[in-house]
Structure 1
Amino acid sequence: MASSSSTAAASLATKTPNPLSSKVTSVLSSSYADTEFREALALLDERGVLNTPETRRQLRLDLQKEVIDSNGEIIDEFSKVSEQLRRIGVTIGKLNESFNEMKKEIGAAHQATSSTLEEASRLMTQKQQVEQKQTLLKAFRGNFILSDDETAALTLMSEPVDDLYFSTLAKAKKITKDCEVLLGFENQTLGLEVMELASKNLNLGFQKLYKWVQKEFKTLNLENPQIGSSIRRALRVLAERPTLFQNCLDYFAEAREHVLSDSFYTALTGSSASGVENTSIKPIDLAAHDTLRYVGDMLAWVHSAAVSEREALEGLFIGEAEEIKRGIQAGRENEIWRLAEEEGDGAHDFDAVKTLNELVDRDVSGAVRILRQRVEQVIQTNEETILAYKLANLLNFYKSMFSKLLGSGSSLVESLGLLEAEALRQFRSLARDHVAALQGDFVQTPADSRPPEFLFEALEQLTAIMKTYETSLASSAEQEADFETIMAEAFDPFMLGCAIMAQTLHPPSNSIFLANCFLTALSTLAPFEFTSKRVARLQAKIGTERSRLVESQYIFFRKESGLDALIIALSTMSDAAEDVEKVPLLEAAQAPALTQAGQILDDFLPSALMDAVQKLKHLQDSRLAQEITEEAAEKFCVDFEHVEQMLMLADELAEQKQGENDEPRSLRALFPRTSGEIRVLLS
């Protein structure tokens, strides 16, 4: 009971509010971080107020008094605002009265002027429409109609071809293109009329330009390095009419052909085709002292003219190549009949370099005809083999130069190729005639085995030909292949003649004679790179004759030494016992034969080397003769060593088999010479 009563009292006490706890709770629940609270504290700090009961009571009164004073000031200010608003109201009222009066007057004026304003508005609309039509008409005339001045500049020959002409021509082309838009409307009459007029003026303009270009070509000075820009511009524009453009080129080529032909004729003779003499020129016909110089001067003149012509015309085509190409392409699209024809012929796009080369080729064609006639005459009247080849090589040289300048397909290059072929035919004909004339000399072999005179003459001519050919522009591989035809005519027949002559001789004279011929030919061909294959063949042939001479000298040593029969008999035997037993039984190994062989050998050895060398005295290469003799002597020494070895083995075998009472028989005693002595005497 006591416990329960105390618990109830505690709970009741808890529910009863405590002023102190309420105050503490209120203070603790206040947020001092509040902005307004901080501002209030800051204001109190400014006033310097102390925290006392009296101050707190007085502070409340002071604050209330300040609030009342502030409200009073606000009321005073609002009274002033009210007075101003009243005055504004009066002013607005007066303005409303004035506005109403003005509105009445305006309404009356509007009623009085409404008809006039409507008329003015209608007139303004009409004015705008007229101005739009005027603007449209001006634009139409500016874009689709040529003015009188422009028409005159475009079509009249009396007017110059200047910037106004080209601008008018461009405008006429634009009008023709823009007429396609007018043809797109239902009413096509205007478009057809404008296009017809523009096309007519445009055609007249191109005809004027065509005639102007022809006129300019007549007086065009190609010697001037700076050809006028007007002619280049005219050609670029005229390219849009491929037919007219090509006609101009044909006309120009024809005119330049006559000019260059006359110039070439003047350079040759010193006077023009009409007979007017030019004393400032030294005629080629008189200045050239020999045939080769004459042909070279003519070719040099043509080359100089072609180079000058190309350099002068490069400015007309190369610099404007893309514009001319586009113009020709556009012209082909417009000229339907020409387009169909070119499609049938497989025409290609415009190539400025090709066109330039073709034009230069046509320009010099007249001079080339004169050149060809004179060179053909020179070739046909020539009777010298070397000169014929030099002419062919000279023509080949200039053909290569013109191929690089104008292309391999030019008529000038083809003409030079035909002349070169003609010169080579003449060369081969003269060479064959010369060989035919020497047929009688092929059977007369010189007594001293030296090369025949015709071979020296042929090699002298071949040397001159090779020196000429060496200056050609072909590569070394091409030179060697191309020169084979020359070798077949100027070398092979003479070497074949030497071979025929050698057939009448006996060994070793035939080998000495051929070796001398081959050595002479080798010394002639070796200095030139494009004869390497021929040099290798000659060296192989010399090696063959060398082997034959070595064999001849070797046979000489064997026969003159008296050992030939013994060497032959022992050549098939080896150092085997059964072969050694047969040695004393050989006929050549019998005492009389060995004694005789030894005596012959002794008589031969003192002069053997000199006699052998004497046999090769006609061989022109003494070093080669020495090598051949030494090689043959070495072979003989090797054979003698084999003979010596077999005789010694036979003596040893005989000593082993002989009895006490048998009389010894020594083969070496009958044949005492040693291989060492042989080598010394033959070295």
Structure 2
Amino acid sequence: MSSSSSRPLSPQGTTASPSLSSKAAKPLSSKLTTVLSSSYADTEFREALALLDERGVLNTPETRRQLRLDSQKQVIDSNGEIIDEFAKVAEQLRRIGATISRLNESFNKMKTQIGAAHEATSLALTEASRLMRQRQQVEQRQALLNAFNDKFVLSEDETAALTLTSEPVDDLFFSTLTKVKRISIDCEILLGFENQTLGFEIMEQTNKNLNMGFQKLYKWVQREFKTLNLENPQIGSPIRRALRVLAERPGLFQNCLDFFAEAREHVLSNSFYTALTGTSSSGLEDPSIKPIELVAHDPLRYVGDMLAWTHSAAVGEREALEGLFIGEGNEIAKGIQAGRENEVWRLVAEYGEETDDFDAVKTLNELVDRDMAGAGRILRQRVEQVIQTNEDTILAYKLANLLSFYKSTFSRLLSPGSALVESLEAVESEALRQFRSLARDHVAAVQGDFQHTPADLRPPEFLVDALGQLTAIMRTYETSFTSSGDREEEFASVLVEAFDPFISGAANMAESLRAPSKSVFLVNCLLTARTSLSPFDFTQRRAAQLQAQIDEEKARLVETQYCFFRTESGLDELIASLQPLGDSQEDVNNVSSLEAVQAPALMQASQRLDEFLPSALMDAVEKLKNLQDSKLVQEITEEAAKKFCIDFEHVEEMLMLADEMAEQQHGESDEFQSLRALFPRTSGEIRVLLS
């Protein structure tokens, strides 16, 4: 700034010259304008003020005049300090540059040495890299070989556990057997490659080990079957597991079943013999057993106890074998099915030919049936002996009924075609044959009694005895659980043997009697028979047939009593003469001309009627005194009396019509004679006296 522009105002407030004052006023006005135009909200302005506050500058004229100088001085001092610091930095940079130069020299030396070393070791490194790659390939092949051995090759311990009979059949055996089966399946993959030699070799060795393993398992199962106790509810799981695995070889499995069935048949036969006699087949006594042959005092109890033991043994055998052969998931069935699919004969079978699926329940039932075969033979022999030595008809039927019940029970337990059921069916047929034979023998024995009719016309003793036996048979049949849908049809054969001959004999005896004794005797026999058959639902049709025969004989007796009323009352001729006539005039005119209506005959009939009526009902009942059903006697007499009363009403009506016509013709002349006067009885009186 020039001296003129910075010249201050004089103390007196006057300027030196007008030109100078105008020049000096412009900067001031511009300063003022700048200050006034400054925004105190400007960020830089506020920072400047804040900086002044931090320095503690006082707002005095002296300070304001020195402010610029102080600021410039401070800037100059700061610049000097910075220059001093940069001098130090420059010194350090020079040192660093020297250090870098030395490093570059060392680097160049090392690079030269490394290059020389690389040239010297390049062949060794190349060989080392090649060896490393070869080592990696060897390790990969070794890992692949180990994996292959683990997958397709058995270890010595596994081979021993699978093939040596001295080694136990334990978890290692079963796991090894599973591994061998898996190897056999996986070998099919190896056979798909071009080089099949390895696959064939492994397959051959695997099949050999697998066959030896199954043979070992087969022999082990046979040994276990010899000592297996089925009565023990805790049958070991190893034998169940072995059977499930052995099922994959149906031939070996079936052989084991055959061996087991033979062993169990022998055991159960001995047990049954011991239960019968109290001693074993070897002669050893068992004091804990009460022999059936000593405890059972009658043949029915004896046969029943034997059948009950057989049923209990069969149920126990089946329950034990269910736990042994039928497991969750039906593993044996799956194993046998898989074995059948792998059999050679199955693979070469004709296309479309199918075999039945394995039925575990059916096989179990057949096995139980085979186990019970020995006991069944003993049972059949003993039962046949009882049947053949029995001479009681009722006992023979009870035996047949008991055998029928157990036959149906074993049919549900095993199957209708089992040998035990067929055996029971045979002895049941034998018992029925014996029953029919005894029944016919009994009929032949009492045939002599068929000729002697009881004097009081009661049912003969042979019929009463036969009905007593039949009642016992029917009660036995009623309590049986027959499987037939039509019980009445099934029981009809029994009636043919135990009922029809006796009722026919009674009918033949009645042929020698006269009426009404014939009908009375037949009704007595039929009523007794119907009373015996009626309580049972399976004899209702036969009871209905008997009732129809009773009704026929009842009708004959009603007719007999009716004839008695007509004959003994003396009205038979009168009724017979008037019965064809009606109420027409012509018939009424003919009444007086009838011989039976003439005064002497009519008076005689009236007198005889009066003599008959007081005791007519008692006399009629007396004629049927041998009829054992008093109610039926009353019914027959009432029906006969009713028919007689109807006839009497017709006679009364015709006589009254004849009197009316005669009265109209003759009036009250002496020639007129009332028929009603000669025959005064009325139908009302007759009904009262015969009621």
State how 1:210-249 maps to structure 2 within 5 Å.
210-249=218-257
Task: Return closer, same or farther for 1:432/1:180 CA change in 2, 3 Å cut-off.
Answer: same
Tell me the residue number matched to 1:266: 274
Task: Return closer, same or farther for 1:66/1:240 CA change in 2, 3 Å cut-off.
Answer: closer
For 1:219 and 1:99, locate their aligned partners in 2 and report how far apart those are by CA, in whole Å: 95
Aligned residue among 392, 400, 407 for 1:399? 407
Tell me the residue number matched to 1:646: 654
Task: Return closer, same or farther for 1:597/1:535 CA change in 2, 3 Å cut-off.
Answer: same
Task: Return closer, same or farther for 1:658/1:184 CA change in 2, 3 Å cut-off.
Answer: same
For 1:56 and 1:451, locate their aligned partners in 2 and report how far apart those are by CA, in whole Å: 165
Q: Does residue 136 of the first structure (1) align with residue 140 of the second (2)?
A: no
Please list every run of 5 or more consecutive structure 2 residues that lacks an aligned counterpart in the other structure.
Answer: 1-31, 52-74
Q: Does residue 555 of the first structure (1) align with residue 576 of the second (2)?
A: no
State how 1:217-616 maps to structure 2 within 5 Å.
217-320=225-328, 322-337=330-345, 347-474=355-482, 477-616=485-624
For 2:418 and 2:507, locate their aligned partners in 1 and report how far apart those are by CA, in whole Å: 46
Q: After alignment, is 439-448 or 192-201 more displaced? A: 439-448
Q: CA deviation at 1:440?
A: 2.2
- CA RMSD of superposed structures (Å): 3.0
Task: Return closer, same or farther for 1:663/1:471 CA change in 2, 3 Å cut-off.
Answer: same
Q: CA deviation at 1:224?
A: 0.4
Tell me the residue number matched to 1:657: 665
C-alpha contact (below 8 Å) 2:484/2:490 kept by paired residues? no
Aligned residue among 155, 161, 171 for 2:163? 155
% identical equivalent positions: 69
Q: CA deviation at 1:342?
A: 12
Task: Return closer, same or farther for 1:543/1:62 CA change in 2, 3 Å cut-off.
Answer: same
For 1:188 and 1:93, locate their aligned partners in 2 and report how far apart those are by CA, in whole Å: 76
C-alpha contact (below 8 Å) 2:559/2:640 kept by paired residues? yes
Tell me the residue number matched to 2:684: 676
C-alpha contact (below 8 Å) 1:476/1:530 kept by paired residues? no
C-alpha contact (below 8 Å) 2:459/2:521 kept by paired residues? yes
Report the AA paired with residue 418 of structure 2: S
For 1:345 and 1:465, locate their aligned partners in 2 and report how far apart those are by CA, in whole Å: 54
For 1:576 and 1:116, locate their aligned partners in 2 and report how far apart those are by CA, in whole Å: 161
Over residues 158-202 of structure 1, what are the superposed CA-to-partner deviations in whole Å (9 max), with x where a residue is unaligned? 111111000000000001110001111111111111111111111
Aligned length: 621
C-alpha contact (below 8 Å) 1:257/1:363 kept by paired residues? yes
Please list every run of 5 or more consecutive structure 1 residues that lacks an aligned counterpart in the other structure.
Answer: 1-54
For 2:639 and 2:104, locate their aligned partners in 1 and report how far apart those are by CA, in whole Å: 150
Task: Return closer, same or farther for 1:418/1:274 CA change in 2, 3 Å cut-off.
Answer: same
For 2:611 and 2:484, locate their aligned partners in 1 and report how far apart those are by CA, in whole Å: 58
For 2:436 and 2:464, locate their aligned partners in 1 and report how far apart those are by CA, in whole Å: 19
Over residues 470-495 of structure 1, what are the superposed CA-to-partner deviations in whole Å (9 max), with x where a residue is unaligned? 12112685322211110110001111
Q: CA deviation at 1:204?
A: 0.4
C-alpha contact (below 8 Å) 2:369/2:420 kept by paired residues? yes
Rg larger in 1 or in 2? 2
State how 1:4-15 maps to structure 2 within 5 Å.
none
Q: After alignment, is 648-657 or 374-383 more displaced? A: 374-383
Report the AA paired with residue 298 of structure 1: M
Report the AA paired with residue 400 of structure 2: A
Secondary structure of 1:278's aligned partner: coil
Over residues 445-471 of structure 1, what are the superposed CA-to-partner deviations in whole Å (9 max), with x where a residue is unaligned? 111111011001101111111111112
State how 1:53-68 maps to structure 2 within 5 Å.
61-62=38-39
Secondary structure of 2:151's aligned partner: helix
Q: CA deviation at 1:307?
A: 1.2
Aligned residue among 189, 192, 195 for 1:181? 189
For 1:65 and 1:509, locate their aligned partners in 2 and report how far apart those are by CA, in whole Å: 158
For 2:362 and 2:595, locate their aligned partners in 1 and report how far apart those are by CA, in whole Å: 92
Secondary structure of 1:225's aligned partner: coil
Taking structure 1 as the reference length, the TM-score comes to 0.85
Task: Return closer, same or farther for 1:315/1:572 CA change in 2, 3 Å cut-off.
Answer: same
Task: Return closer, same or farther for 1:238/1:158 CA change in 2, 3 Å cut-off.
Answer: same
Tell me the residue number matched to 1:27: none
Task: Return closer, same or farther for 1:355/1:104 CA change in 2, 3 Å cut-off.
Answer: farther
Q: CA deviation at 1:121?
A: 2.0
Over residues 566-621 of structure 1, what are the superposed CA-to-partner deviations in whole Å (9 max), with x where a residue is unaligned? 11222222222222222112221111111111011001000000000001100111
Q: CA deviation at 1:97?
A: 10
Report the AA paired with residue 246 of structure 1: Q
Taking structure 2 as the reference length, the TM-score comes to 0.84
Report the AA paired with residue 367 of structure 1: A
Task: Return closer, same or farther for 1:476/1:587 CA change in 2, 3 Å cut-off.
Answer: farther
For 1:269 and 1:226, locate their aligned partners in 2 and report how far apart those are by CA, in whole Å: 30
C-alpha contact (below 8 Å) 1:321/1:352 kept by paired residues? no
For 2:549 and 2:354, locate their aligned partners in 1 and report how far apart those are by CA, in whole Å: 58
Q: CA deviation at 1:57?
A: 9.3
Secondary structure of 1:585's aligned partner: coil
For 2:597 and 2:377, locate their aligned partners in 1 and report how far apart those are by CA, in whole Å: 89
For 2:600 and 2:102, locate their aligned partners in 1 and report how far apart those are by CA, in whole Å: 184
Secondary structure of 1:537's aligned partner: helix
For 1:674 and 1:93, locate their aligned partners in 2 and report how far apart those are by CA, in whole Å: 179
For 1:369 and 1:268, locate their aligned partners in 2 and report how far apart those are by CA, in whole Å: 14
Over residues 616-660 of structure 1, what are the superposed CA-to-partner deviations in whole Å (9 max), with x where a residue is unaligned? 100111111111111111111111111111111111111111146
